[in-house]
Structure 1
């Protein structure tokens, strides 16, 4: 079941996959230059994350850490476990001048949609 976005700057997992170039079989295609930014914590990331995503925990972003160099100046698709932290991150990022949207339903919805999730070793992962 797909959760519909509500509010500005919110997108579905299908739209996130399209913007970031992810497919159900784990292959990548041109995502139009969007960067997938995961704002969960390290233990959640190690259990399961989206291939090619960058990690910047919300706790570090809120403490003043800014984007990794490869994300600078590029549109961002921000994801967390359920969609709550990613909304907070998008607020911080857009106030800092970034072009960012968050994913409704987060990693839970991503995994339920059959999109790829890998663990720290690159094997099939879980959403912690």
Structure 2
């Protein structure tokens, strides 16, 4: 059962645990990934800490019309930011382009609080900035 809505123009919302399960991250992964985790935070936030298999595209670039990174072009998108505000805007932008997307309630803050993996740009333990 998919947590994505049938109407792609109206993005849904998921918890950090649901996002982890659908993107194949950490203990919450169930049966592999069927979605891509897209982190829309600014570069300094990404470098401090992000989900291990996430792809990065700042909201500012997405809003300026940038296309999705190669790793995010196949399949549904789960969008994450620090707290859930930017990811909501990004999911709306993606839905307007016809891309199936949901955003993560509570963002990376809830992700880290749930004990899900966070790595820095060097692959070490990351923090949510």
CA distance in 2, matches of 1:56, 1:28: 26
CA distance in 2, matches of 1:70, 1:13: 20
The TM-score normalised by the length of structure 2 is 0.87
Q: CA RMSD in A?
A: 1.9
Question: Which residue of 1 is the match for residue 127 of structure 2?
Answer: 126
Q: Closer, same or farther in 2 for the Cα pair 1:28/1:48, shift >3 Å?
A: farther
Unaligned runs of 5+ in 1: 1-6
Unaligned runs of 5+ in 2: 1-9
CA distance in 2, matches of 1:103, 1:60: 19
SS for the counterpart of 1:117 is: coil
SS for the counterpart of 1:124 is: coil
The TM-score normalised by the length of structure 1 is 0.88
CA contact (8 A) 1:111 1:117 kept: yes
Post-superposition CA distance 1:92-115 (Å, at most 9, x none): 000001000000000000000000
Question: Which residue of 1 is the match for residue 15 of structure 2?
Answer: 12
